Structure 1
Amino acid sequence: MHPTGEYANGADGSSAPPRGRKRRRKRLLVVLVVFTLLAGSGLLAGGYYFDSVPTPTDLKLPESTTVYYSDGRTQMAKLGAENRTIVPYEQMNDSAKQAIVAAEDRTFWTNKGVDFTGVLRAAWSNITGGQRQGASTITQQYARVAADLKGVTYSRKVREAVIAWKLDDKYSKEEILGFYLNTVPFGRGAYGIEAAAQTYFGKTVRRDAPASQQLTPAEAMVLCAMVKQPEADPNDPEGSPGYDPRRNAKARQNSIDRWNYIRDGMVKLGYLSAEEAANLAYPDGVKPIDPNAGQSGLDRPTGLVVKHVLSELRQTDAFKDKPADFIRNGGYKIVTSIDKRVQDAAEAAADIRRDTAPEAVRGQPKNWQAALVAVEPGTGRVLGYYGGNNGEGADYAGWYYDDNGEARGFGQHPPGSSFKVYDLAAAVRDKISVKQHFDSPETKEFPESGRTKDSPAGPIRNAEHAPCQPDCALWEATVASLNVTYFELTEKLGKAKVIDMATQAGVDSMWATVKGNPQPQRVELRGEPADEVARHFSTEVGIGQYGITVQDHANGMATFAAGGKRAEAHFVRSVTKGEDKVYQEQLTRTDLELDEEALNQLDWTLSRVKAAKLDNGWDSAGKTGTWQAGQSTTQNVHTWMVGYTGALAAAVWLGTTDGKPLKTKDGSYEVYGSSGPGPIWRQFMEQATAALKLDPDKYRFGTPEFPGDTPSPTAAPTTAAPSATVQPTPSEVRPSASTSARPTGGPKPSPTSSPSLTPLPSLSPSRTKAPR
């Protein structure tokens, strides 16, 4: 309540003094002051008659940040926690009314709604080019908040004075205080005292609620302390964190200091006695900050897309070094690269728990997991992304940086023979014809790479068989996935050329085995010379021993689909706030320097892979791959299918969540690239291209000339079940220490000497594995 005798009619702590002759005198004074300021500032005095005076119900609050599909209309997710619940002034208990007056405007009940000294100071600052001055009275603060929320920039405090004057003239003090308490931001996206009470304490300001559920004076003082700075300063979040006691230690101390200031004001105004104030304790019941509060759509598969979107944006100049919740609570409109039609096809095929998944993978054991990424050739736009069924769970298709800057994801898997597409591309770039023949016996020693019968790993063995053996053309060895041929090809080219081709095509990271570390470590492939990067890997890189992500592999396929033109894979097309463009994708391409003949030979060879053939009339190319468990020749942990048409590229991985071999519901271990991820890839490609309604005749592959070669056989070689094991060479490799920034199309890497990526649980790198 008001101090006894200081205000008339103040029995409930909310009444204003009666108005009579003082109002006319005040109005005359205000007219003179405002007229002088308006004239001196070059503003029209007529603004008094035309500036609107909105009530809280008229205001449009800042929108939560919303994430959209590529059409800019279909909502994918809602971020942030902007919320407000209007409570009529007479239904509020006194705690918030008294605390806000003690905190923000102790003369509220007697002042004229305008701080004339502050107005004069602001006017002089405006005239002389000084900084903008803030409002002081609660009436002026409401005027400023209301004007800003309407999207009007009131750069001069005289305009605030005009609106405040009109407010004070038109509404009672009780009404104005009600406007203010239902409108002012309290942080964490809470607008108005009721939303704040719910957000911070899980309580209400309604006086008709049970006493135990009502906001107490001490709690109201904590909330009202936050009005001074509702959010951390984005340019200095640690040094100027605001007054939310759960943000950090400094913010808590700020809150306590201001809480004491408000308590003193409560005593001075007579709302608390000295004894009551002395017995009042700072409340410790503030709820922790929940970054997901008020959000929606994050528990779906596209929730992982949102994580990549946020990670990507944090690497841009517009959002770099901003607080974790800056984007979520910023009221932005984010348009992603994800095409709803493509995404639907990806989820229908890769979510193997659905009835829409291919029969070959549907209803299999619970530890089976698939991942699929589709990229648009020539732009790098990720059109579809499935890294798991739960957007709040593990990401098996890639990795991203979380709110704390930690790398998260399970998206790296040994690609096995699917990696041979980069060997092949490097070969045709070096003018090695796909019709060139290689010695391709069942087993072969490679002393230069340490693969002999006397070495721990032994010689290289094929996991497939082809009728052409022991003398096969490169294209035949590709279709049959002959490891002997591709190990020799990698030696011939040099592992640096193979890695360089993969890097230029789209593989930004590869995971190396490091002595003494039980988990593979991420090596950033870009930013260092290829020879330096190659030191971290052995010749086995050419047959897919080292893990890569599904996302990177998909981008590599998109580069080949685009005629050797690599674009940066990315998830964000644009970010806007109101009418302002905050961020726009930058589409750039680099050339692999693959001439037309090389591209035609690459397409021609990969189009002969049986698993890559589509039934919808599209020219298509692709490659399967598996990585085996232990010394087994039949049990596979990772299986792949990657490929492209001229309009769409996609990579599919199928493995397990626990690192155990893939075992069917019937007890069979016969799961390969062609029988597991192959059906997923084909169903997706057919459904996605149909949904995009593109003309396949516009995306036909060229025909190679094979200069100097005789026509090749038309019959494709047959394949059989794997019959031998390929063991990795025991070697000590070191992760790259490079910290060069990744382009904005992907997450910025942390130093790989101490990676924070949570890798997929897998068998120890020292155990024997065999690629296919």
Structure 2
Amino acid sequence: MGRAEARQARQRGARRARKSRPSGIRRFFTFKKMLGTFLGLCLLAMGAFFVAYLLVPVPEANAEAKLQSNVYKYSDGKLLAREGKVNREIVGLDKIPQDVQYAFVAAENKTFFEDSGVDIKGTLRGLKNTLTGQGKQGGSTITQQYVKNYYLNQDQTVSRKLKELVISLKVDRKREKSEILAGYLNTSYFGRGAYGIQAAAQAYYGVDAEKLNVAQGAYLAALVQAPSSYDWAVASDETKETVTNRWNYVLNNMVEESWLDKSTRDSLKFPAPQAPKAPAGLSGQAGYIVEAAKQELSRQGIDKADLDAGGWTITLNIDSKRQKELEGAVQKQLEDELDRKGDKVDATVQAGATSVDPKTGKVVALYGGVDATQHWLSNATRRDYQPASTFKPVVFASALENESETQDGDPIGLNTVYDGTSKRPVEGSDTPFSPQNDLDKSYGPVSVQTSLNRSINSAFAQMAVDVGLDKVKETALELGMPDINFPERPSISLGVMGASTWDMAGVYATLDNHGKKVTPTIVGKAEHKDREFEVQDPIGSQVISRETADTVTAGLTGVVKNGSGIAAKSSFYEAAGKTGTSEKNRSAWFAGYTPELTTVVALFGESPKDGGGQVSLTGTAQAGRANGGGFPARIWADYTLGALNGGSDAEFDLDVAEIASPDPTPTETETETEDPTPTPTETETETEDPTPTPTDTGSADPTPTDEFPTPTTTITPPTGTFTPPVEPGDGDPDKDTDRRPPQP
């Protein structure tokens, strides 16, 4: 071989050697090195995860996840209102049908009952589905979703995801699967503002969770994946097809897992949910009712903070039918007659009412005002107005209970005769008092029955003194009146203290219940998963004797049959009641009852200006005097007839010591003046403050009270021809005398 050939051979060998040696990059990425690096990273990740597992604790639940609404229901279980920042009512698995539970597992995590809380395959599948546009099953397990909802937040970050994985493993080890599933169902968001399956069941199907069927449950399970898109009410045709497919997917998975029989599955039809409804809020009467319930719960020991935390299901005593009847009666008999925007007097009128079952003490209906969002103060429970002559039966009850006598030593009863002379000074009192009767009318000798019928001030002022003012107050408090601005002066007989329709309904219900104490109660049951609450018994002890209560009832039946409360008279029920109108005609009342129902209705004159203040009701609906025998009695009659389903054959079962004799003919000539100016013996203080405390006087500024109104045929057909008495009058001390009621 020549030198040339040898050189060429050496060059070829060098080239082959260079080709056989790896390049710099290839030398670095050898198989062994890559495998070692991969294993090292895995070990590092496992170590980091182990450290994280040790260091990341299971945190306290986030505040939002624990928030619940309070649910208020009518006595028949119908939803009245929800109150709270979050529309959620936590329920246990025992309140969720098992096939509905399985529907969620089939939709979100079929291996839930076997996995360890984290499904790696599911996570990878979820990533794949997201990238490919498929959405049949997400990557997170039910445990992970529960952890995210209950302990963490919705942030899409690596750190949050890492915490979710770690906590999910720990939660799965420490908690039962049933507890995790319940937590998931109660924290998931379903759209329509509904958090948790109970709120979702109400929002989409108008039922409680325990009433859901498997088809409905499958829809809700499908909905969780995309609640804003999958809501049937807003979904496009294309989306509806997607939703239907996912619904089928859920059911098919249930069959596959043997959680649903195939024949049952084949018979199911897609359950289209109801259209969205406005949340059951606190507008209308709901706000007044809820506030009354909260006040009652507070009085019975539930702390406000405890109630505000939510989670209460409160079943009220409110009867949905009777509530509707009361609202309708106010609308028909009052609101339809008012011109609130065009008439300054009508703009001041506020109506309130409380209706009680006297046998149980349950508040079955309540009217707080035009709307709780427009007039926040409840006219049913406010105590800043005087109950006026509706207090007179309390004076008579005290006289009977204490076996009191007149100044002449005669026992006081329905037939006891008093001097009905207007501005007659009371006898036996250290405080001079000369009350004026309505229109300054004098009746001469009159029985107590007549004094009730005509609400004669002079007779009851003297009776209060005869009984003893301290004893009258004692009886009033025992019957349930609040101790507010309660004077121990002769003017106590005219009801010058503060009271609400709620308070007076309790007093009159006690009379109706034969003297056994009735405390109006609006809450029937209050339930919470973490605590127990027992509602106090509304029926108490015997506070006055049956004979006393029944004798007062006998007297009050005369007020309805022949007196100032005749607008409440009907042949379709038996009734007892009393009218009342307070100082300067600022409030007008009718408190009445049948053997089955006690209801108090009142009107209040309230200035619409900032700061309010009490104003006269005179001229309401351009009808002159807004006395107790007018609008309040007509509302009472309209409501009572409807609440009793058109009437009742029930009669008062009375145990009375005496029966009232017919009204005697007044023996003294009535005196009627255009501008009576009696000489008061004690100065009266006039004020526009919400709780005026008038002192005893003969009424320097008389205003109208309970007169004999024209009967209305819109309530009940009259049983005969009614001839109004010659002498109108309730006779509270301060009547306007400028107008008389229209006569038939």
What's the CA shift string for 1:326-360, capped at 9, x where partnerless? Answer: 2xx21x3211011112211211123xxx3464876
State the distance in 2 between where 1:552 and 1:181 align: 41
> What TM-score, normalized to structure 2?
0.55
Shift of 1:477: 1.2
> Aligned pair in 2 of structure 1 residues 113, 21: CA closer, same or farther (>3 Å)?
farther
Unaligned runs of 5+ in 2: 1-37, 51-64, 89-103, 109-125, 132-137, 139-147, 201-225, 229-277, 404-411, 608-613, 703-731, 734-744
CA–CA separation in structure 2 for the residues paired with 1:592 and 1:359: 41
Residue of structure 2 equivalent to 1:641: 590
User: CA, structure 1 residues 181+705, in 2 after alignment: closer, same or farther (shift >3 Å)?
Assistant: closer
Q: Secondary structure at the match of 2:477?
A: helix
> Are 1:379 and 2:360 counterparts?
yes
Kept in 1, the 8 Å contact 2:579–2:629? The answer is yes
Partner residue of 1:390?
Answer: 371
Q: Alignment partner for residue 299 of structure 1, among 283, 287, 293?
A: 283
Whether the aligned pair in 2 keeps the contact of 1:372 and 1:550 (CA below 8 Å) is: yes
Query: Structure 1 residues 584, 545: CA separation in 2 closer, same or farther (over 3 Å shift)?
Result: closer
Question: In 2, are the aligned partners of 1:360 and 1:679 still within 8 Å (CA)?
Answer: no
Distance in 1 separating the partners of 2:185 and 2:78: 35
Partner of residue 148, structure 1: 179
Specify whether residues 728 and 653 from structure 1 end up closer, same or farther in structure 2 by C-alpha distance, changes over 3 A only: farther
The residue identity in structure 1 corresponding to 2:421 is: P
Match of 2:437 in 1: 462
State the shift of 1:762 in Å. Answer: 6.6
Q: Deviation string for 1:726-757 (max 9, x for gaps)? A: 8795599xxxxxxxxxxxxxxxxxxxxxxxxx
Deviations 1:289-326 (A, max 9, x none): xxxxx963301112111011112223334x33634522
Partner of 1:601: 551
2:450 to 452, 459, 476: 476
User: Could you report, residue by residue, the CA deviation over 1:76-104 in whole angstroms, capped at 9, with x for unpaired residues?
Assistant: 101223359x9999799x9966687657x
2:391 maps to 419
Does 1:543 pair with 2:517? no
Deviation at 1:377, TM superposition (A): 0.4
Alpha-carbon spacing, 1:765–1:626, altered in 2? closer, same or farther (3 Å)? same
Are residue 592 (structure 1) and residue 543 (structure 2) matched?
A: yes
Pairing partner for 1:575 from 526, 536, 552:
526
Matched letter for residue 377 of structure 2:
D
- Give the alignment partner of residue 415 of structure 2, picking from 420, 425, 435: 435
- In percent, how many aligned pairs have the same letter? 19
Aligned residue pairs, count: 484
Q: Secondary structure at the match of 2:474?
A: helix
Matches within 5 A, 1:206-221: none
Q: In structure 1, how many angstroms separate the alpha carbons of the residues matched to 2:335 and 2:185?
A: 58
- Measured in 1, the distance between the counterparts of 2:545 and 2:673 equals 33
SS at match of 2:72: strand
Equivalent position amino acid for 1:673 in 2? G
RMSD across aligned positions (CA): 4.9
SS at match of 2:299: coil
Q: How far apart are the structure 2 equivalents of 1:430 and 1:181?
A: 60
Q: d(CA) in 2 for partners of 1:722 and 1:309?
A: 49
Question: 1:402 aligns to what?
Answer: none
SS of the counterpart of 2:508? helix
Among candidates 289, 300, 308, match of residue 325 of structure 1: 308
One-letter amino acid of the structure 2 residue matched with residue 608 of structure 1: G
What does residue 658 of structure 2 align with?
Answer: 706
Which of 672, 691, 701 pairs up with 2:627?
672
495 and 579 in structure 1: CA distance in 2 versus 1, 3 angstrom threshold: same
**What's 1:273 paired with?**
none
Q: Could you tell me which of 599, 606, 621 is aligned with 1:657? A: 606
Equivalent position of 1:65 in the other structure: 70
The SS at the match of 1:604 is: helix
8 Å CA contact 2:457, 2:494 repeated in 1: yes
Partner of 2:466: 492
Residue among 649, 667, 670 paired with 1:696: 649
Mapped contact 1:429–1:595 kept (Cα < 8 A): no
Deviation at 1:593, TM superposition (A): 3.0
Deviations for 1:468-520, whole angstroms, at most 9, x for unmatched residues? x211111111111111111111111111221222222221342x2xxxxxxxx
Matched residue, 1:624: 579
Deviation, structure 1 residue 555: 0.9
Distance in 1, Cα, partners of 2:323 & 2:624 = 30
Contact 1:83/1:190 (8 A) holds in 2: yes
Whole-Å Cα distance in 2 between the matches of residues 112 and 303 of structure 1?
A: 42
How far apart, CA to CA, are the structure 2 residues paired with 1:654 and 1:184?
46
Question: 1:538 deviation in Å?
Answer: 2.4
Residues 478-557 of structure 1 mapped to structure 2, 5 A cutoff: 478-510=452-484, 512=485, 536-557=487-508
Judging changes above 3 Å, is the alpha-carbon distance between structure 1 residues 75 and 567 closer, same or farther for their aligned structure 2 residues?
A: same
Structure 2 Cα separation of the partners of residues 448 and 394 of structure 1: 45
Question: Using the alignment, how far apart are the partners of 1:728 and 1:623 within structure 2?
Answer: 28
- Contact 2:72/2:316 (CA < 8 Å) preserved in 1? yes
Larger radius of gyration: 2
Contact kept in structure 2, 1:480 and 1:719, CA below 8 Å: no
Q: Is the 8 A contact 1:81 1:189 kept in 2?
A: no
SS in 1 for 2:587: strand
Deviation at 1:645, TM superposition (A): 0.9
Q: Alpha-carbon deviations, 1:582-641, whole Å to 9, x = none?
A: 444434322123243x33421221111131543143221111111232xxxxxx111111
Question: Per-residue CA shift, 1:412-431, capped at 9, x if unaligned?
Answer: 31111111010111122234
- Whether contact under 8 Å (1:660, 1:762) holds in the other structure is no
CA distance in 2, matches of 1:112, 1:599: 68
Q: Which amino acid aligns with 1:696?
A: D
Partner residue of 1:239?
A: none
| AA matched with 1:444 | R
Q: Deviations over 1:671-713 (max 9, x none)?
A: 221123121122122221226x7x423x334374528xxx712
Of 78, 82, 85, 2:82 maps to 78
Q: Summarize the Cα distance change of 1:543–1:763 in structure 2 as closer, same or farther, 3 Å threshold.
A: closer
3-state secondary structure, aligned to 1:503: helix
Q: Give 2:300's aligned residue.
A: 316
The separation in 1 between residues aligned to 2:480 and 2:186, in whole angstroms, is 53
Counterpart for residue 638 of structure 2: 683
- Indicate the SS of the match to 1:654: strand
Structure 1 residue 449 displacement after superposition: 4.2
SS at match of 2:537: coil
For 1:79 and 1:715, the matched residues in 2 are separated by: 58
Residue 450 (structure 1) shift:
5.8
What SS does structure 2 have at the residue aligned with 1:560? helix
Match of 1:269 in 2: none
Q: In 2, are the aligned partners of 1:373 and 1:550 still within 8 Å (CA)?
A: yes
Q: Is the 8 A contact 1:644 1:650 kept in 2?
A: yes
Structure 1 portions without partners, runs of 5+: 1-16, 30-59, 116-134, 153-178, 196-205, 209-293, 400-409, 453-457, 513-533, 630-635, 733-758
Greater share of helix residues, 1 or 2?
2
How high is the TM-score relative to the length of structure 1? 0.54
